Amino acid sequence: MKKYRNLLFIAGFAALLLSQYKVVMPFIYKVAASDLFLVDSKDQASQQPISTPLSNIAFTHCNNYIKSELGPNVTLAFPEKPSNAWTLGNYQYVISAEFTLTDEKPSTTTKKYACRITYNDGDDQEGVLDFDNWSIIGVSGLKDS
């Protein structure tokens, strides 16, 4: 058996590579080309900054989330509009903006943040004002506050 150990290893390795090439990879290509990962929605992604009613509502919900995270001991002031807002498609938004923070000490700082938020109900626009229909994926720029 020791005599054929290297030969068995090479044959097993060749069989593994051949099965990957002839069985596994064609299956993966078929799955990737199928509609399995296709999300059909009216909201299309854009590489350009946008300003739509939904992006403005997403901005408001991000601001309310930041207020709740930082607590009642600080005073926050937000601008009327975000610096930039992008849609990732399927009602997912990235909001970039800043806020002015005044804490218990008489110090005021301006912080920039980015917020990724998703509207969960898709094309059904009835509940866009209800925060429970949105999910905050993440907010950056709050940790050093």
> Would residue 45 be called left, alpha or beta, if left means φ above 0 and alpha means ψ between -120 and 50 degrees?
beta
Q: What is the pLDDT along the chain (145 residues), one digit of tens a residue?
A: 678 899 999 999 999 999 999 999 999 999 988 888 777 778 788 889 989 899 999 999 999 999 999 888 888 999 999 999 999 988 999 999 999 988 777 788 899 999 999 999 888 888 889 989 999 999 998 776 4
Closest CA to 99 of 82, 116, 118: 82
Identify each DSSP E strand in the chain by its residue range: 75-77, 84-89, 92-102, 108-119, 134-140
The answer to whether residues 114 and 65 touch, using CB atoms and an 8 Å cutoff, is no
Instruction: Provide the whole-model pTM.
Output: 0.72
CATH 1.10.10 is right for the domain spanning 53-140: no
